[in-house]
Amino acid sequence: MVNLCIRISSPIITKRTQQLEEARATHTRHMSELATYLTKYNNLARDLNVIDDKILNSKKLSDTEKEKLMNSRIKTWGELDFLRTRLSEMFSDEEFTPEYTKLSELSAEYELTRAENEELKKRNAQMVESMLTIADADNQIVDMVSKLTKDNTTDLHSAIKKINSTIVTLGLSEKTLLKNANKYSNPLVGSAFSPIELDKELDEKYQKLADGLERWNGLKRLNEILPLGKPVKSRITSNYGTRNDPFTGKPKKHRGIDFAGKIGTELMAVAPGRVVSAGERVGYGTTVEIDHGLGFTTLYAHLSHINVSRGDWVRPGTVIGLAGSSGRSTGPHLHYEIRYKGSPFDPTKFVKED
Protein backbone atom coordinates (compact mmCIF):
# COMPACT_ATOMS: atom_id res chain seq x y z
CA MET A 1 0.00 0.00 0.00
CA VAL A 2 2.79 2.37 0.86
CA ASN A 3 4.64 1.54 -2.29
CA LEU A 4 1.53 2.27 -4.34
CA CYS A 5 1.17 5.68 -2.76
CA ILE A 6 4.75 6.44 -3.55
CA ARG A 7 4.34 5.34 -7.18
CA ILE A 8 1.18 7.43 -7.57
CA SER A 9 2.55 10.56 -5.98
CA SER A 10 5.91 10.45 -7.72
CA PRO A 11 4.66 11.98 -11.06
CA ILE A 12 2.76 14.64 -9.14
CA ILE A 13 5.86 15.55 -7.17
CA THR A 14 7.90 15.63 -10.36
CA LYS A 15 5.40 17.96 -12.01
CA ARG A 16 5.23 20.17 -8.94
CA THR A 17 9.01 20.24 -8.78
CA GLN A 18 9.17 21.27 -12.45
CA GLN A 19 6.60 24.02 -11.90
CA LEU A 20 8.55 25.26 -8.90
CA GLU A 21 11.76 25.38 -10.92
CA GLU A 22 9.99 27.32 -13.69
CA ALA A 23 8.56 29.74 -11.12
CA ARG A 24 12.00 30.17 -9.58
CA ALA A 25 13.52 30.77 -13.03
CA THR A 26 10.80 33.32 -13.89
CA HIS A 27 11.31 35.00 -10.53
CA THR A 28 15.04 35.09 -11.10
CA ARG A 29 14.56 36.68 -14.52
CA HIS A 30 12.10 39.21 -13.07
CA MET A 31 14.49 40.09 -10.28
CA SER A 32 17.34 40.44 -12.77
CA GLU A 33 15.15 42.68 -14.95
CA LEU A 34 14.08 44.67 -11.89
CA ALA A 35 17.65 45.08 -10.75
CA THR A 36 18.69 46.21 -14.23
CA TYR A 37 15.84 48.71 -14.47
CA LEU A 38 16.36 50.03 -10.94
CA THR A 39 20.09 50.46 -11.46
CA LYS A 40 19.50 52.28 -14.73
CA TYR A 41 16.67 54.31 -13.20
CA ASN A 42 18.81 55.42 -10.25
CA ASN A 43 21.70 56.33 -12.52
CA LEU A 44 19.41 58.35 -14.79
CA ALA A 45 17.78 60.09 -11.84
CA ARG A 46 21.20 61.03 -10.52
CA ASP A 47 22.28 62.26 -13.99
CA LEU A 48 19.09 64.33 -14.23
CA ASN A 49 19.77 65.97 -10.87
CA VAL A 50 23.33 66.77 -11.92
CA ILE A 51 22.12 68.33 -15.17
CA ASP A 52 19.42 70.35 -13.40
CA ASP A 53 21.97 71.57 -10.87
CA LYS A 54 24.30 72.75 -13.65
CA ILE A 55 21.46 74.50 -15.46
CA LEU A 56 20.19 76.25 -12.33
CA ASN A 57 23.44 77.10 -10.60
CA SER A 58 25.99 77.68 -13.35
CA LYS A 59 26.02 81.40 -14.14
CA LYS A 60 28.59 81.47 -16.92
CA LEU A 61 27.18 78.96 -19.34
CA SER A 62 27.47 79.80 -23.02
CA ASP A 63 24.49 79.38 -25.33
CA THR A 64 26.14 76.31 -26.83
CA GLU A 65 26.69 74.76 -23.37
CA LYS A 66 23.10 75.53 -22.35
CA GLU A 67 21.77 73.92 -25.51
CA LYS A 68 23.97 70.87 -24.95
CA LEU A 69 22.73 70.51 -21.34
CA MET A 70 19.10 70.89 -22.40
CA ASN A 71 19.50 68.22 -25.09
CA SER A 72 21.13 65.93 -22.52
CA ARG A 73 18.27 66.56 -20.08
CA ILE A 74 15.67 65.74 -22.78
CA LYS A 75 17.52 62.51 -23.57
CA THR A 76 17.80 61.53 -19.88
CA TRP A 77 14.17 62.34 -19.19
CA GLY A 78 13.12 60.23 -22.16
CA GLU A 79 15.01 57.22 -20.78
CA LEU A 80 13.55 57.76 -17.31
CA ASP A 81 10.04 57.94 -18.67
CA PHE A 82 10.57 54.69 -20.57
CA LEU A 83 11.93 52.90 -17.48
CA ARG A 84 9.11 54.23 -15.29
CA THR A 85 6.60 52.70 -17.69
CA ARG A 86 8.39 49.32 -17.67
CA LEU A 87 8.61 49.25 -13.87
CA SER A 88 4.92 50.05 -13.58
CA GLU A 89 4.09 47.19 -15.94
CA MET A 90 6.31 44.82 -13.98
CA PHE A 91 4.33 45.32 -10.75
CA SER A 92 0.84 45.70 -12.22
CA ASP A 93 0.69 43.37 -15.22
CA GLU A 94 0.40 39.66 -14.32
CA GLU A 95 1.45 38.69 -17.83
CA PHE A 96 4.55 40.90 -17.83
CA THR A 97 7.60 39.30 -19.37
CA PRO A 98 11.06 40.89 -19.38
CA GLU A 99 11.68 42.78 -22.62
CA TYR A 100 15.39 43.07 -22.11
CA THR A 101 17.66 40.59 -20.37
CA LYS A 102 20.68 42.88 -20.54
CA LEU A 103 21.20 46.56 -19.96
CA SER A 104 23.17 46.69 -23.20
CA GLU A 105 20.03 45.68 -25.11
CA LEU A 106 18.06 48.50 -23.52
CA SER A 107 20.79 50.99 -24.33
CA ALA A 108 21.10 49.74 -27.90
CA GLU A 109 17.35 50.09 -28.51
CA TYR A 110 17.26 53.57 -27.01
CA GLU A 111 20.32 54.71 -28.94
CA LEU A 112 18.79 53.46 -32.18
CA THR A 113 15.59 55.41 -31.51
CA ARG A 114 17.60 58.45 -30.47
CA ALA A 115 19.69 58.25 -33.64
CA GLU A 116 16.57 58.09 -35.79
CA ASN A 117 15.11 61.06 -33.91
CA GLU A 118 18.30 63.06 -34.35
CA GLU A 119 18.29 62.31 -38.08
CA LEU A 120 14.68 63.51 -38.34
CA LYS A 121 15.55 66.66 -36.40
CA LYS A 122 18.52 67.26 -38.70
CA ARG A 123 16.37 66.82 -41.82
CA ASN A 124 13.73 69.11 -40.36
CA ALA A 125 16.33 71.76 -39.61
CA GLN A 126 17.67 71.46 -43.16
CA MET A 127 14.13 71.77 -44.54
CA VAL A 128 13.44 74.86 -42.42
CA GLU A 129 16.75 76.38 -43.57
CA SER A 130 15.90 75.62 -47.20
CA MET A 131 12.44 77.16 -46.80
CA LEU A 132 13.97 80.31 -45.28
CA THR A 133 16.45 80.49 -48.15
CA ILE A 134 13.64 80.08 -50.70
CA ALA A 135 11.51 82.69 -48.92
CA ASP A 136 14.43 85.13 -48.90
CA ALA A 137 15.10 84.52 -52.59
CA ASP A 138 11.40 84.93 -53.31
CA ASN A 139 11.32 88.30 -51.56
CA GLN A 140 14.42 89.45 -53.42
CA ILE A 141 12.96 88.42 -56.77
CA VAL A 142 9.60 90.07 -56.05
CA ASP A 143 11.33 93.28 -54.92
CA MET A 144 13.66 93.31 -57.93
CA VAL A 145 10.91 92.63 -60.47
CA SER A 146 8.65 95.19 -58.77
CA LYS A 147 11.39 97.83 -58.99
CA LEU A 148 12.18 97.02 -62.61
CA THR A 149 8.49 97.09 -63.46
CA LYS A 150 8.02 100.41 -61.68
CA ASP A 151 11.08 101.99 -63.33
CA ASN A 152 10.13 100.77 -66.80
CA THR A 153 6.51 101.75 -66.27
CA THR A 154 7.60 105.30 -65.44
CA ASP A 155 9.65 105.54 -68.64
CA LEU A 156 6.92 104.01 -70.81
CA HIS A 157 4.23 106.17 -69.26
CA SER A 158 6.05 109.40 -70.14
CA ALA A 159 5.30 108.87 -73.85
CA ILE A 160 1.63 108.07 -73.20
CA LYS A 161 1.19 110.89 -70.71
CA LYS A 162 1.80 113.57 -73.33
CA ILE A 163 -1.12 112.33 -75.47
CA ASN A 164 -3.60 111.93 -72.60
CA SER A 165 -5.43 115.17 -73.38
CA THR A 166 -5.76 114.07 -77.01
CA ILE A 167 -7.16 110.62 -76.26
CA VAL A 168 -9.67 112.17 -73.86
CA THR A 169 -11.12 114.16 -76.77
CA LEU A 170 -11.63 110.84 -78.55
CA GLY A 171 -13.73 109.53 -75.66
CA LEU A 172 -10.93 107.28 -74.48
CA SER A 173 -8.96 106.94 -71.27
CA GLU A 174 -5.50 105.62 -70.54
CA LYS A 175 -7.03 102.74 -68.54
CA THR A 176 -9.22 101.72 -71.49
CA LEU A 177 -6.32 101.90 -73.92
CA LEU A 178 -4.11 99.78 -71.63
CA LYS A 179 -6.82 97.15 -71.32
CA ASN A 180 -7.39 97.10 -75.09
CA ALA A 181 -3.65 96.99 -75.80
CA ASN A 182 -3.24 93.88 -73.66
CA LYS A 183 -6.11 92.21 -75.50
CA TYR A 184 -4.88 93.17 -78.98
CA SER A 185 -2.78 90.87 -81.13
CA ASN A 186 -1.30 90.78 -84.61
CA PRO A 187 1.73 89.12 -86.24
CA LEU A 188 3.99 92.08 -85.43
CA VAL A 189 3.10 92.93 -81.81
CA GLY A 190 2.44 89.34 -80.78
CA SER A 191 -0.41 87.59 -79.02
CA ALA A 192 -2.70 89.07 -76.40
CA PHE A 193 -1.57 89.30 -72.78
CA SER A 194 -3.66 87.36 -70.29
CA PRO A 195 -4.04 89.09 -66.89
CA ILE A 196 -2.68 87.07 -63.96
CA GLU A 197 -5.28 86.28 -61.32
CA LEU A 198 -3.87 84.72 -58.16
CA ASP A 199 -5.44 82.95 -55.20
CA LYS A 200 -6.66 85.58 -52.75
CA GLU A 201 -5.15 83.52 -49.90
CA LEU A 202 -1.65 84.34 -51.17
CA ASP A 203 0.35 87.29 -49.90
CA GLU A 204 -1.06 90.45 -51.53
CA LYS A 205 2.44 91.34 -52.75
CA TYR A 206 2.04 88.75 -55.52
CA GLN A 207 -1.18 90.29 -56.84
CA LYS A 208 0.38 93.76 -56.68
CA LEU A 209 3.30 92.42 -58.69
CA ALA A 210 0.91 90.81 -61.19
CA ASP A 211 -1.03 94.08 -61.53
CA GLY A 212 2.23 95.97 -62.01
CA LEU A 213 3.34 93.55 -64.72
CA GLU A 214 -0.03 93.90 -66.45
CA ARG A 215 0.26 97.70 -66.45
CA TRP A 216 3.88 97.57 -67.62
CA ASN A 217 2.98 95.19 -70.44
CA GLY A 218 0.00 97.34 -71.44
CA LEU A 219 2.15 100.48 -71.61
CA LYS A 220 4.86 98.64 -73.53
CA ARG A 221 2.36 97.37 -76.10
CA LEU A 222 0.63 100.76 -76.28
CA ASN A 223 3.95 102.43 -77.10
CA GLU A 224 4.42 99.86 -79.88
CA ILE A 225 0.88 99.98 -81.28
CA LEU A 226 0.06 103.70 -81.27
CA PRO A 227 1.40 105.80 -84.17
CA LEU A 228 3.77 107.94 -82.08
CA GLY A 229 6.51 109.92 -83.81
CA LYS A 230 7.21 111.60 -87.13
CA PRO A 231 6.76 109.88 -90.49
CA VAL A 232 9.57 111.98 -91.95
CA LYS A 233 12.47 113.95 -90.53
CA SER A 234 11.23 117.32 -91.66
CA ARG A 235 9.66 120.49 -90.32
CA ILE A 236 5.91 121.02 -90.08
CA THR A 237 4.67 123.62 -92.57
CA SER A 238 0.95 123.52 -91.77
CA ASN A 239 -0.83 122.41 -88.60
CA TYR A 240 -4.15 120.70 -88.00
CA GLY A 241 -7.20 123.00 -87.81
CA THR A 242 -8.86 125.84 -89.66
CA ARG A 243 -6.68 127.70 -92.19
CA ASN A 244 -7.09 129.59 -95.45
CA ASP A 245 -7.44 127.15 -98.32
CA PRO A 246 -4.37 127.56 -100.61
CA PHE A 247 -6.61 127.30 -103.70
CA THR A 248 -9.64 129.41 -102.69
CA GLY A 249 -8.18 131.58 -99.94
CA LYS A 250 -11.26 130.88 -97.81
CA PRO A 251 -11.15 129.42 -94.27
CA LYS A 252 -11.27 125.63 -94.35
CA LYS A 253 -10.48 122.89 -91.88
CA HIS A 254 -7.14 121.22 -92.48
CA ARG A 255 -7.59 117.59 -91.40
CA GLY A 256 -3.93 116.72 -90.88
CA ILE A 257 -0.37 118.06 -90.68
CA ASP A 258 1.83 119.00 -93.62
CA PHE A 259 5.55 118.20 -93.60
CA ALA A 260 8.01 119.87 -95.94
CA GLY A 261 9.68 117.49 -98.34
CA LYS A 262 11.20 117.32 -101.77
CA ILE A 263 9.86 114.92 -104.34
CA GLY A 264 11.38 111.55 -103.61
CA THR A 265 11.81 112.07 -99.86
CA GLU A 266 11.34 108.73 -98.08
CA LEU A 267 8.26 108.45 -95.86
CA MET A 268 8.19 105.90 -93.05
CA ALA A 269 5.61 103.96 -91.08
CA VAL A 270 5.66 105.16 -87.46
CA ALA A 271 4.16 102.00 -85.95
CA PRO A 272 3.52 98.39 -86.94
CA GLY A 273 0.37 97.83 -88.94
CA ARG A 274 -1.29 96.56 -92.07
CA VAL A 275 -1.75 98.55 -95.27
CA VAL A 276 -5.51 98.91 -95.85
CA SER A 277 -5.29 101.29 -98.83
CA ALA A 278 -2.61 102.03 -101.41
CA GLY A 279 -3.57 104.01 -104.49
CA GLU A 280 -5.33 107.08 -105.77
CA ARG A 281 -7.85 108.94 -103.61
CA VAL A 282 -9.87 112.01 -104.61
CA GLY A 283 -8.21 115.19 -103.36
CA TYR A 284 -5.42 113.27 -101.66
CA GLY A 285 -3.71 112.01 -104.78
CA THR A 286 -1.49 108.98 -104.39
CA THR A 287 -2.23 107.76 -100.87
CA VAL A 288 -1.30 105.02 -98.39
CA GLU A 289 -3.35 104.25 -95.28
CA ILE A 290 -2.16 101.91 -92.52
CA ASP A 291 -4.27 100.28 -89.81
CA HIS A 292 -2.34 100.06 -86.52
CA GLY A 293 -5.07 98.49 -84.42
CA LEU A 294 -7.17 99.77 -81.49
CA GLY A 295 -9.06 101.90 -84.03
CA PHE A 296 -6.05 104.02 -85.12
CA THR A 297 -4.94 104.49 -88.72
CA THR A 298 -2.39 106.76 -90.39
CA LEU A 299 -2.78 108.32 -93.84
CA TYR A 300 0.01 109.55 -96.17
CA ALA A 301 -1.16 111.75 -99.06
CA HIS A 302 0.23 113.53 -102.19
CA LEU A 303 2.87 110.81 -102.73
CA SER A 304 4.94 110.48 -105.87
CA HIS A 305 5.49 106.75 -105.43
CA ILE A 306 4.10 103.88 -103.34
CA ASN A 307 6.39 101.13 -102.02
CA VAL A 308 3.74 98.90 -100.45
CA SER A 309 0.56 97.11 -101.45
CA ARG A 310 -2.79 96.65 -99.82
CA GLY A 311 -2.59 93.83 -97.25
CA ASP A 312 1.14 94.25 -96.53
CA TRP A 313 2.33 94.23 -92.91
CA VAL A 314 4.78 97.04 -92.18
CA ARG A 315 7.11 97.68 -89.28
CA PRO A 316 8.19 101.04 -87.81
CA GLY A 317 10.72 102.59 -90.18
CA THR A 318 9.45 100.78 -93.25
CA VAL A 319 9.54 103.15 -96.24
CA ILE A 320 5.94 103.08 -97.46
CA GLY A 321 6.39 105.65 -100.25
CA LEU A 322 8.04 108.82 -101.50
CA ALA A 323 6.93 112.41 -101.05
CA GLY A 324 5.38 114.18 -104.01
CA SER A 325 2.71 116.66 -105.05
CA SER A 326 -0.09 114.48 -106.43
CA GLY A 327 -3.77 115.31 -105.97
CA ARG A 328 -4.92 118.67 -104.66
CA SER A 329 -1.48 120.06 -103.79
CA THR A 330 0.35 123.32 -104.36
CA GLY A 331 3.83 121.78 -104.11
CA PRO A 332 5.88 118.82 -102.88
CA HIS A 333 5.07 117.89 -99.28
CA LEU A 334 3.54 115.15 -97.13
CA HIS A 335 -0.01 115.52 -95.89
CA TYR A 336 -0.20 113.28 -92.81
CA GLU A 337 -3.31 112.31 -90.88
CA ILE A 338 -4.00 110.12 -87.84
CA ARG A 339 -7.55 108.82 -87.62
CA TYR A 340 -9.53 107.13 -84.88
CA LYS A 341 -12.34 104.93 -86.13
CA GLY A 342 -12.15 106.66 -89.50
CA SER A 343 -12.26 110.26 -88.22
CA PRO A 344 -9.13 112.45 -88.33
CA PHE A 345 -8.05 114.30 -85.17
CA ASP A 346 -5.25 116.68 -84.25
CA PRO A 347 -2.08 114.51 -84.39
CA THR A 348 0.28 117.20 -83.06
CA LYS A 349 0.97 115.51 -79.71
CA PHE A 350 1.40 112.14 -81.41
CA VAL A 351 4.18 113.43 -83.70
CA LYS A 352 5.83 115.69 -81.15
CA GLU A 353 9.18 114.15 -80.22
CA ASP A 354 10.29 116.27 -77.24
Report the top-level CATH class of 236-351.
mainly beta
* Distance separating alpha carbons of residues 236 and 230, to the nearest angstrom: 10
Q: How far separated are the first and last CA of the chain, in Å rounded?
A: 140
Percent of residues in the chain assigned helix, strand, coil, to nearest 5: 55, 20, 30
> With a threshold of 0.85, does the pTM exceed it?
no
* Distance separating alpha carbons of residues 323 and 354, to the nearest angstrom: 24
**Longest CA span, the chain:** 165
> Which residues are registered as beta bridge partners of 238?
258
Burial 294-314 (b: 16+ CB within 10 A, else e): bebbbbbbbbbebbbeeebeb
Q: What is the mean pLDDT of residues 212-241?
A: 91
Q: What is the pLDDT of residues 144-192, one digit of tens each?
A: 666 666 666 787 888 788 899 999 999 999 999 999 999 999 999 988 8
- Quick one: how many helices (H) and strands (E) in the chain? 7, 12
* Distance separating alpha carbons of residues 157 and 159, to the nearest angstrom: 5
* Distance separating alpha carbons of residues 320 and 334, to the nearest angstrom: 12
Give yes or no for residue 26 having a pLDDT over 60: yes
Query: How is the chain split into domains, by residue range?
Result: 2-101, 138-225, 236-351
* Contact predicate 45/83, CB 8 Å: no
Give yes or no for residue 235 having a pLDDT over 80: yes
φ/ψ (deg, to 5) at 284: -90, -15
**pLDDT given for residue 8 in this prediction:** 41
Give yes or no for residue 141 having a pLDDT over 70: no
Number of alpha carbons in the 13 Å side-chain half-sphere of residue 125: 6
**pLDDT given for residue 160 in this prediction:** 87
DSSP character string of 278-317: EEEETTTEEEEEEEEETTEEEEEEEEEEE---TT-EE-TT
Percent of the chain with pLDDT over 90: 38
